[in-house]
Amino acid sequence: MTQAAAINGVSQPGISRSIRDLETRMRATLLRRTGRGVELTPAGMEFLAFAKSSLSALEDAKSRIMEVSGNIPERLHIAIPDRLGSVVYPVLYRQFMLELPEVAVAATETLTADMIDGINAGRVDLSVSYLPTIPGAYGGEPAFRESLYLVERKTKTVSKDVTVSLADVAKQPFLLNHQGSAYHRLIDAAFSAAGHKLIVAREFETAESLLAFACEGEGVTILPYSNFRTEAQRGDVIGRLITDPGIERNVYVHAGRHLDNRTANLARGIILRCLNEIAESVRWSPM
């Protein structure tokens, strides 16, 4: 402890106080005193690995910032699809703070139409979307693939099967997005390709509305797991993976062309790493 204090130019009591404060915040004992001095506890070893990784990532971030010095804006506005916020926000803010600490990040859930308008107008810098191209944005390669599920209120009479064939799905009317939406067209095309007719009982503007009605037992809908994850974990709804054939869509990350190309690539890379971290929890598959 005395040597550590000398290296950091502080007093030994100051080092001890810092360690106690850190242990209080971590709610764990990081160092253990022995007859030979001080050694790391298992929790301390875990924190040491995290600290080394974080410091290394910070140095890498500083290098990248210096490379694009003067080109990165003070704030980046990121648009993400409806109902992804609760799982994306914590990872997104943490990773940007780690890799681009000098840039403020504003992330919001946005409807697709507003996302497109925002990028075109320069109000939105980056987006996570299901569109292969967005006017005014650098083209993006598909990053992940997500499958769609038949979603309905959980009752004693609902099938406990984890999958359902498209042929069985097609026998019932649906709660679905309005006919002009890309999502509606995706499902309609999948039904048509399999020789089925899509029957829609009611149309809604958002996935939030679809899910609310499904939770009330007002009908069934088709959604990706990311959209009904919370409700499924609460036991409000049950989702069965659609198969034979399945319905899938791709997840893309776009950057507005108003951004410097190097800045766009840097920020897009951070978002991709964030999405990779949450992919398993929302049942996304890598491309």
Residue ranges and CATH numbers for the domains of the chain are: 2-67 (1.10.10.10), 75-143+251-286 (3.40.190.10), 145-249 (3.40.190.290)
Specify the length of the chain in residues.
287
With a cut of 90, say whether residue 57 has pLDDT above it: no
Q: Three-class SS of residue 154?
A: coil
Q: What is the pLDDT of residue 68?
A: 55
Q: Which tens digit of pLDDT belongs to each residue from 1-55?
A: 777 777 666 788 888 888 888 888 888 999 998 877 888 999 999 999 998 898 8
- Whole-angstrom Cα distance, residue 205 to residue 210? 8
Please check whether residue 99 is in contact with residue 270, taking contact to mean a CB–CB distance below 8 angstroms.
Answer: yes
Do the beta carbons of residue 124 and residue 118 sit within 8 Å?
Answer: yes
Element (DSSP H or E) covering residue 60: helix 42-67
Cβ atoms of 140 and 126 closer than 8 Å: no
Percent of the residues in the chain that have a pLDDT greater than 70, as a whole number: 95
